[in-house]
Amino acid sequence: MTTTNSTPKTSSSLANHTHDCDCCEFVGMFASKDVYICGNSVVIRHSSEPSDYSSLPMHFVPVASQGDAMWSVASTLVSFHQSEGK
């Protein structure tokens, strides 16, 4: 399933891409990208191709989000997920 808008979605059934790490926790998707928390990192999956992702240590995401819209949306999804106590 793909989406043409950038409205964040958070149900894991909405994930666009295959992600082969059992340790990662799906937190949402936006603009055909899936966002995961894996340990102390945030992973943005761009496609199902194993190498097609971006990741940053969680403590760098707020800094990256100030200058990059992709990381800004990912930061919002992670913050929402954490505030929900998941």
pLDDT tens sequence across 38-56: 999 999 999 999 999 999 9
Model pTM above 0.85: no
Percent of the chain with pLDDT over 70: 84
**pLDDT at residue number 86:** 59
DSSP 61: H
